[in-house]
Each structure stands twice: as structure tokens, then as C-alpha cells.
Structure 1
Amino acid sequence: MEFVIKISQFLLSLSLLIVLHELGHFIPAKLFKTRVEKFYLFFDVKYSLFKKKIGDTVYGIGWLPLGGYVKISGMIDESMDKEQMAQEPQPWEFRSKPSWQRLIIMLGGVTVNFILAAVIYVFMAFSYGDSDIDAKSIKDGYMITNPLLIELGLQTGDNITAINDQEIVNYSDLKKNLLAAQLVSFERNGVPMTVTFPEDFLGQLSSSKSRSFFELRQPFMVSEIQETSLNKDQDLQKGDVLTSVDGKPLKYFDEFEALASDYKGQTVNVTVLRAGESLNKTLQIDADGKLGIITGASYSAIQELGYYKIVENEYTFGESIGVGLNRFTSQMSAYWMQLKLIFSPSTGAYKGVGGFKAIFDIFPDTWSWEAFWSITAFLSIMLGVLNLLPIPALDGGHVMFLLYEMVSGRKPSDKFMEYAQTAGFFILIALVLFANGNDIFKAVFG
């Protein structure tokens, strides 16, 4: 069932983005009286799952979910229709239109992607507001288990105060700034310290089996008792918080392993906090130092215990416009920075590039409209930015040649465009194989 929910969100988001992107090309083409021969969701290699011709356009759904396309008459595109291009230009064809009209048609797709992302962020701000954790309310630092971060000199309990001189105000600032981290400032037992990250930190992080960063430390709060647990009959309830083991205080779950190491295979007295009341329990720790308890708690439940402060904001529709647009520009800037890092071999960031599985994995396994729209907005930005890359066969490649034509007054020959389109396809195939190959490598070798 979890797989069905994830794949449903993935396909719905992908389909929405593809249709709207192609609609961005379709609408200006129609406005400029340019014939659109095909409008397809997914690719129809050899055959279509569905197709219907309305007017001059065949609308359809292909079977290969790697994208979609519109086929515009008189344009050298993925169809590589050389026969059509060998004939005399017709007034309804793309190649017969003024360069400014062709430029608008080609930029239509990415324009829609960016507008869609901005609109989603505006309505999300209005509908959901936003919430974050005040970094200053986190008194005992973060849980750090990633071997790479530990090797760099960080440890659980460190309180991160700044990354690259950018003050950490809210918890979300950590992950936002981590990708470009060079200098990390933190406090350990009240003493200010710094650590310098290596240039290839992202490459090392991508190669690491651990995907943890700076995680919030949580109490040992009971979520569920395992069926195989030695303590399944000990009257433990969901929401109970273990606060001591054999008289030794236990504030955070990450402290339990060290405390329990001396009691493997033994019975131990613990204190449990339940609805504000302290209860004494006797529990059994198995040979592995475990209680057989699944832990977990919501942010609000942990806030009630005083571990940190959640900052929540609600916005009027007018305020949501500014908040949404700020989030859009922030995400745009962040994604351009990621691309810059990926195309800089010295950073090793290319090792973290993922394909369709990586995109699939970011969707939650429970249905959440808030998560769905947030991910869809980000993917819309990603699709728009990637399509602007100056690679022939992408919108950015066509725009590059159109700008050359507008500046120089000379139009590249159809033969040159055919060669460029072919070269662009080989580049795209190589990039797709590399990204999805990374997914397979990580799945096989962890």
C-alpha cells in the first residue's frame, strides 16, 4: 500500500508538470497561428496508450513515462522530421515565424514551470502557513551519527550556530546551507569552535552509506511495543517517556545505548513520565542492549516536554504573495547553486545526482497534500532550470540558437540544427544513463 501511495504521488506530479510544461509551448504556438501536430503526455515510441485528433493536433498518452512533448510543424525537434524540413516553408510552420515569436514559443514551457512553482508556494503559504524550530531553543545540540561528520570533528551535543558566517536562526537553515558549507561554527559545552569542510564534502557525503545530517535529539518516547519484546506485558503506553535508567537520568534517546550497555540481559529499574506523573517500572534489557520498543513522537509532543520551541506563522492572502515569492526565489537560487556544484568536478557533487528513483524516493509513503504540493513546486523549478541548460534538444539549446540569430541576423542552417539536435540527444541520453546509473549503484551497493 505504501508503494501504491508513493507511485501515485510520483506519477500525478510528473504528469501535471509535463502537461503544463508542454501547454506552455502549445498556447503561444496557437496564438501565433503555428500548427501543433502532436501534444503528448509521455513518449509514444512505436505506439500510444491513447490518442485522438482534434483539428490539426493529435492529443495522446504514450507508454514511456520519461517526459512528454509537443510536435510543432517546421521545427527541428525530437521527431527529427527531415522530410517535412526538406519541403518549402509554409506560413503555419515554426520556421516561418519571426524570431521573437519563436523565442516566446520556446520559453513558454519553462515560464509555465516557474509560474506554477511560484503560485504553489503562494497558496501553500496561505493554506498551511509555515512552521519551523527556533534554533536558539535547542539547548543540547544535535544528534550527529554520520561517520563523515564525526571524522571532521563534530559530535552529538554540538550546537551549530553558523554555516559560512550565515547564522542558523531556524532548524531548516541547517539543511539549506549545508550543501555549500565550507566553514561550520558551533558551540561545544559553551565553547565556540569551528570546523572546515573539504572541497569534496558533497562527493564524500554522496558516497557515505549514512544519509543523516544534524538531527534533532528526541526523548525516549514510546510509540509501539514490538511483539517480540521482553517488555510487551509491562503496561507501557504510547507517549510514555523514559526519564531514567537505574537512577541515572535519561534525557535523550541517543543516550540510552550507553546507559543500557552495562545491563545487557538484565532487569533494570526505570522511571517513566506519563501525563505529567512519574512512574517506576521494571524492564528487561535483552542481550543486544534493547528494550524492544519503537520510539517516536510528533514535534508538538516534544515541544510540550520543553525540548524546543516551534515557531508557527499564518498569513493573509496578501502576505502569502510576498512569502510565496520569497520562497520561490530562494529555491531557485538554491537549485542554481546545486547545479553549479554538480558541474564542478572538484566538489564531487556529481556523485549525488539521481534519476527517477531518487525523485520517487522523496515522496512520502503516506498521502499528504502539503508534501505533494511542496515537492511538485520544487520539481517544477528543477524541470524549468534543467530545460534552460544550453544543450541542443532542450529548450535552452533552441533559445541559444535563437538568440544567436537575433543578435547576428543569421539563422543557423537546417542541416546544422539537425546535427546539433542529434548531438544534444546523445548528451541527454548520457546524462539520463548517468543519473539513473547512480540510482542503481546506490541501490545495489548502498
Structure 2
Amino acid sequence: MITRDLAPVLRDSLARYPIVTITGSRQAGKTTLARAEVDKPYANLEAPDIRAFAQEDPRGFLGQYPQGAILDEVQQVPELLSYLQVDVDALAGSKQHLGRWVLTGSHQPQLRDALAQSLAGRTALLQLMPLSLGELAHWQRPYGLDELLVSGCYPRLHDAGIPAHQFHADYVGTYLERDVRHILRVADLGLFQRFLGFFAGRHGQPMNYAQLAADVGIDQTTAKAWCGVLEASHVAMPLRPWFANIGKRLAKSPKWYLCDSGLAAHLIGVTSSRHLATHSHRGHLFEGLMVSEASKVIAHAGSPARCHVFSTPREEVDLLVEANGKTLAIEIKSGATVASDWFKNLKVLTDIPQMGVSARMVVYGGNVEQRRSQGHVCPWWLFPLRLSEWLQAHDALPIAWSASSLEQRLRASYQPGV
């Protein structure tokens, strides 16, 4: 079992809050992380008998754990959070107050609303995503780029050696049955699965909700709501456009990405890296992998940084990382050979002083790092290291970390010939 990058943030949060809530998609590793880092009793609220006990007698259920516990899949019993509020408030100021409860769950609407109503100010809210490139490198085996695009980064797939096509087929089936039907109350699973396929076909592309709705055979309101379902269950994430006006960022349509490239590849019918080299979606899958990697670095470090896309009718910059008034502007190119015109759109940002661009980077599918006058050329497998260094330089990486250790792992796992 590997140590997750979020572990130091979890330990720090336990020393500061009475409750720590870990959210994330199914199979991201939330339970494994909690049980590895927290020495407390464990209760899985997906088990019917345990869930029934918590629903029918919440005081008695919590009373079993005088020193607190790990409560897994807490979205199954959102009403339990009101009783947790009473529990921790009664102990405020005592030695038993901090680090008392650890909750895990998919951050679905019921859980989000219950957390906001009952536990505001009482819980740290952490997000665990699938494995980052740095975490995956702990396995110390060589990974090719196309192999990674197809396999994705869910821990169990790599830990148990499950074939990617089998894992993702099982994942979609479990997601549809457990989350979409029972928790999110989507009645027509066949129609939702059709929606998933068309959504995946737009992975990393500007979203036209009207066209998506027409392709699936639903209305536009439902299409937007179902995109929200994917976001709420951490299966997909929006990348909102950058505007100096914060309100415009929220009003404009985002680009959408599935959080895992392997799941995206599966949903568009790519099941082998052999089929990927000439596939029309390879560039979008690569872009999604890098956007997801940036999100993982930020989320797992507890960083305040934010990600956006810059888009005008004529130019687009794939990824902007904002932290403390400064911006790292990033173009993402799947090609393995650097082209001089890759920096063209990055130059446009010079004319936007309020963006505060402090560095320009091209992340690409090759292996040679270059420091050019136009910007930094970064191989895909070094991106988490260079992004972490930029965040640290701008006081946006609150955890202690070892650059040399991360670099060694990345080079050993991804760089050809090492």
C-alpha cells in the first residue's frame, strides 16, 4: 500500500478540527486512506444492518464510539450529521474535541447540503482524487503515456492488476446502480448511460448543452442537471473560463472533463493503447490527463490555487493555475516533438496585466525538458513536479514535500531509458 499525498493534510486537519470529511469518487481510495492514517473503530454505512441502526437510533449508534470513529459512505445517512454536531459541540474545549470523527463519502447533493447545514465550521473538507502521477510512481514500474491514457489512475486497477476494460466496465455498472439510481434518483439508467457516452465524446471540448441534449434525446435542463450529477459524484469536473470579473466566470459555460482518462477512453470505446496512436480523441484524453493532474496536485496538497481555461473567439490557453494573485499559463500538447507555434496563444496573455502571469509553460507528450525564452517546455511526466515547485514559490503549497524524492520516482517510472 502506498502513502497518499493527501495523508499529511489529513493528519494536520485532525489536529485542527473535531471532524474531517474526505470526499471523492468511488474507488479513489478514501476508505484505505482513512483506515491507514486514523486509529479508530470503523463502520461502513453501506452495510444494510449498520445503516438501519444509524437511521433508526442515531444516538445509540454514535454512543458505541465514545472516542469517535471512521464512518464510511456517510452520504447513506445524511441525517446522522445533525447528531454529530451535537456530539462535538458538547465536547468543545476538551481534549476529546479534536480529531474525533472521520467521515468519507461521495460529495453528492444530500451530503453537501447536510454538511453545510450541520457541520459548517466543525469539519475540514478534503477531496481525494484517483492516483496522481507521483503516487502511481510508487509502484516503481515503467508506464508509457498511451498505456496510462487507457488504464487511468484508479488505485485498485493498478494494485490488483485488473485489466482496464474490465475495471472500467464494472465501475460504470456500479456507478449507475449505486449512485445514479439509488442516491441521485435518475430513473432511466439506459438513457443516462447514453448520456455518459455522448458526454465522454465531448471530454476536453467546449460544452454545447443544447447539442448534447439533442444527441441524447433529453431536454437542455436535464442535460445540465446530469452534468451536475457527474460533478457531484466526482466523476467529471468543469474547467471554468477565466475572466477578470468573477461573476462572468460563473455565468459562462465551462469545458468539461471526466476526472479519469481511463474512464473517458472506455466510454468512447478505446480499450487498448494500440488503438490510441491515431485516434481522433487522443489529444483530448492527454489534455484531460494533465488537467486532472493539476487538480490532483492542488487538491491533495490542500492548496488554495484554482484552475481555469482562457478562451476567446480566436485564442485558447488550455489551463491557467491561479494562486495568490499570480498565474501559471499552460498549453497542453499531446505531440512528442516541440513546435515553435505552441507558444503563440501564451503570448496573448501578455496584454492582460490583471491576469498576473508569472510563468508560461507548454506541457507535451515528449521527454525532453527545455527552458526557452518564450517559456518552459515540460515533459508530461515532470508536470506534477514543476507545478508543485511553482505553487511553492507562490506560497500556495501548504504541506512539506520532497522535490528530490518526487523527481526520482517520476524519472524512474516514466522517463524512457531510466
Q: TM-score of the superposition, structure 2-length normalised?
A: 0.23
Q: Relative contact order (C-alpha < 8 Å, sep 6+): which is higher? A: 1
Q: Report which of the two structures shows the higher radius of gyration computed on alpha carbons.
A: 1
